[in-house]
Amino acid sequence: MNTLFSEIQGLFERTYAGVGINLEDCLIGARRSRQLEALAGAQSRELSSLACTFLRSAGGHLHVGIYYSQWLIEQLEDNDPRAGVHDGNIRALIAFVEEINHALHAALAFQRGEIPVPGEDYARNLELQSQVDTYLVVLLFLAFFRKPGAITRADRRWLRFHMFQAQTPRAYRDRQLAARYAETTLLASRFTHFLEKLSAARRVEEIRIFHALGFDEKRQKILDLRAGRGAS
């Protein structure tokens, strides 16, 4: 029987490309998470206590650690999103999907020769991509439970609130983190608005193009859409 984790990884791999490993094998516990957090530095302690992905390149290999809090795991076990998405599990589902996405796109980037670096461009690229992808995945969950009906405006507003408004970047004391999440959240919100207007086939084409771009290129693409210069 497939797990929720493997189903979401499979969805991402069908959209982009396979990473050649089962990312579920990269799950770590609270003790290891605390060790890696200490090694990562002070800034990492401001990241979500619900879930976190740790990345490190050594010896020509990418090392990945994905941590989920016990609270998050219990929320998804008690309120499996495959049986319905609602106020009781949306926060946990978003965090769950985002970390799988971070790990997968880091692995794909590593296959292209890009290694994890402490710079903002690398972090913002992963964060922007994960917000776009997570929005689309959760929208798929909602669409499944709406069949044979269609997603409503209320559904989209509800999801947008939880994705782009419920967690304000101003909660971060670190100015760099606050700026990172403020920018990526705004950009992701704008890009997903654009994607919603496309057919399913065109949407997949656009997100594949988007995935291959660096952060500056992603940002410029979204700014160009905002200025009415269209999509590539």
pLDDT digits (tens, 9 = 90+) for 16-44: 999 999 999 999 999 999 888 888 765 55
Residue 224: pLDDT over 80: yes
Please report whether residue 231 resides in a domain.
no
Report the percent of the chain where pLDDT is more than 70.
91
In the DSSP assignment, the letter for residue 3 is -
Q: Does any domain span residue 59?
A: yes
Return the structure tokens found at 223.
């700014």
Q: Is the pLDDT of residue 95 over 90?
A: yes
Residue 137 domain-assigned (yes or no): yes
- Look at 38 and 1; give whichever has higher pLDDT: 38
Asked whether residue 232 is assigned to any structural domain, the reply reads: no
For residue range 115-155, what is the model confidence (pLDDT) as tens digits? 898 789 999 999 999 999 999 999 999 998 887 878 899 99
CA-CA-CA-CA dihedral for 120, 121, 127, 131, to nearest 10: 140
pLDDT value of residue 126: 96
Beta carbons within 8 Å of 14's beta carbon, 6+ residues apart: none
Record the tokens describing residue 53, joined without a space. 């992905």
pLDDT at 150: 84
Region 171-200 average pLDDT: 90
Is 102 within the bounds of a domain? yes
Give the DSSP letter of residue 172: -
| Per-residue burial over 170-188, b = 16 or more CB atoms within 10 Å of its CB, e = otherwise | eebeeeebbebbebbbebb
For residue 213, being part of any structural domain is answered with: yes
β-pairing, 51-58 vs 27-28, is unpaired
In a domain, 185, yes or no: yes
Q: The domain containing residue 132 runs over which residues?
A: 4-226
Q: How many domains does the chain have?
A: 1
Residue 82 domain-assigned (yes or no): yes
